[in-house]
Structure 1
Amino acid sequence: MIIDIPEGKDPILYVWGEMVPGIGPAASKFAMSIYEDGTLGLREFEAARLRIAQINGCLFCQDWRTEKDGIKVEDSFPDAVTGWRTTADFDDRTRLAAEYAERYAVDHHGLDDSFWTRMKVHYSDTEIVELSMCLGSWIAFGRLNRVLGLDAECVLPSHVGGR
């Protein structure tokens, strides 16, 4: 881990809650609102989230599986996300979510009219904005966890036992 954590402190609670009290709790609330208030379907949500996790290299994020209404994606889903271009396991919305995640993370200047035309066939403007906010959250906070080494040390408290 890159930063020093006081003895007896949980690294994630300390970093996200105590180190920068004016920013950390607000960032945590935003990150959690993605899961609590999001309206996207599980498969497109997880395809986008996992693609960002793969790009970020966040160990925790790659291992995590979001649950909606008691359902999680199948065990083979991460492999399908890696092969999003050719997998037969994705419908158009799921494939577009993975594509958007990758392009948002590594080539956002390359999001051209052709991409947006395809995207708008399958996603409403509201869904595009929601997915964009999710992607921004996952890039920022997944990278924060990875860069500081928190991803190998922590389990988010609200998710203990939910993996």
Structure 2
Amino acid sequence: MARLNVPEGDGHEIERVWQLNPKLGQAVLGLRYSVYHDSVLPLRIREGLRYIVADCNQCPICLAARDVDGSGAGLGMDFYRLVLEDRGNAAFDERERLAFEYTHRFCHDHFSIDDELMARMRAVFSDTEMFDLCVLAARHLGFGRLTQVLQLDFACAVHVSPSSLAGPARDP
């Protein structure tokens, strides 16, 4: 049960809560849509980042979710296990290892993101990709915590195609 009086209607509470402030809600849903559809980062990086944040937030739904973008890419259980247990594994390329290191630090010790890490990342990521990494990590961490604080996490619809969740936010 949510910690707010969520407007009545169809859909999950996590979808209806944004009706409390529709302008802000549209912006939030637009960001959610863009995170899944407009990022320039490859799926493996986006999904590994999402999963590291899910582990940090201890979100049971996000930890259980697979193929959240609907691509059918079939990232296996080994991918998810290694993302949490051995981010430096040779199964990941240099960009993936750096993105996962960055995300882990972002979640657990953001002050440890130093010039040395940023220099290593800038050697293999464009400025646009670096910006995407920052936005995706911030969005997943912040809104994951928001849903848990408001006790909306058990109504989270991450397993539903993000386009069906945020499509209307694209309308002017």
Same fold (TM over 0.5): yes
Does 2:18 correspond to 1:12?
Answer: no
Number of residue pairs matched by the alignment: 160
Name the counterpart of 1:24.
Answer: 25
When the two chains are superposed, the root-mean-square deviation of aligned CA atoms in Å is 2.4
- CA distance, structure 2, for counterparts of residue 85 and residue 78 of structure 1: 10
Structure 1: tracts of 5 or more residues without a match: none
Does 2:126 correspond to 1:116?
Answer: no
* CA deviation after TM superposition for structure 1 residue 53, in Å: 1.2
- CA distance, structure 1, for counterparts of residue 95 and residue 146 of structure 2: 28
Which of 91, 96, 109 is the aligned partner of 1:89? 91
Structure 2: tracts of 5 or more residues without a match: 165-172
Name the counterpart of 2:57.
Answer: 56
Seen in structure 2, the aligned counterparts of structure 1 residues 130 and 7 have a Cα distance that, compared at 3 Å, is closer
Runs (4+) of structure 1 moved beyond 6 Å?
none
* CA deviation after TM superposition for structure 1 residue 60, in Å: 2.2
* CA deviation after TM superposition for structure 1 residue 158, in Å: 5.2
Seen in structure 2, the aligned counterparts of structure 1 residues 4 and 84 have a Cα distance that, compared at 3 Å, is farther
The question of whether the paired residues in 1 share the 8 Å contact of 2:69 and 2:161 is answered with: no
- Secondary structure of 1:149's counterpart equals coil
The question of whether the paired residues in 2 share the 8 Å contact of 1:57 and 1:146 is answered with: no
* CA deviation after TM superposition for structure 1 residue 69, in Å: 4.4
- CA distance, structure 2, for counterparts of residue 110 and residue 154 of structure 1: 31
- CA distance, structure 1, for counterparts of residue 150 and residue 92 of structure 2: 33
- CA distance, structure 2, for counterparts of residue 47 and residue 128 of structure 1: 15
- CA distance, structure 2, for counterparts of residue 157 and residue 103 of structure 1: 26
Give 1:40's aligned amino acid: L
- CA distance, structure 1, for counterparts of residue 20 and residue 91 of structure 2: 42
Matches within 5 A, 1:93-112: 93-112=95-114
- CA distance, structure 2, for counterparts of residue 53 and residue 157 of structure 1: 13
Give 1:58's aligned amino acid: C
Percent identity of the aligned residues? Answer: 36
Seen in structure 2, the aligned counterparts of structure 1 residues 122 and 22 have a Cα distance that, compared at 3 Å, is same
* CA deviation after TM superposition for structure 1 residue 84, in Å: 3.2
- CA distance, structure 1, for counterparts of residue 126 and residue 77 of structure 2: 29
Give the TM-score normalised by the residue count of structure 1.
0.84
C-alpha offsets along residues 69-126 of structure 1, whole Å, 9 cap, x if unaligned? 4313112222111113443422211111111111112222221121112112221121
Name the counterpart of 2:148.
Answer: 146
* CA deviation after TM superposition for structure 1 residue 152, in Å: 1.4
- CA distance, structure 1, for counterparts of residue 159 and residue 108 of structure 2: 30
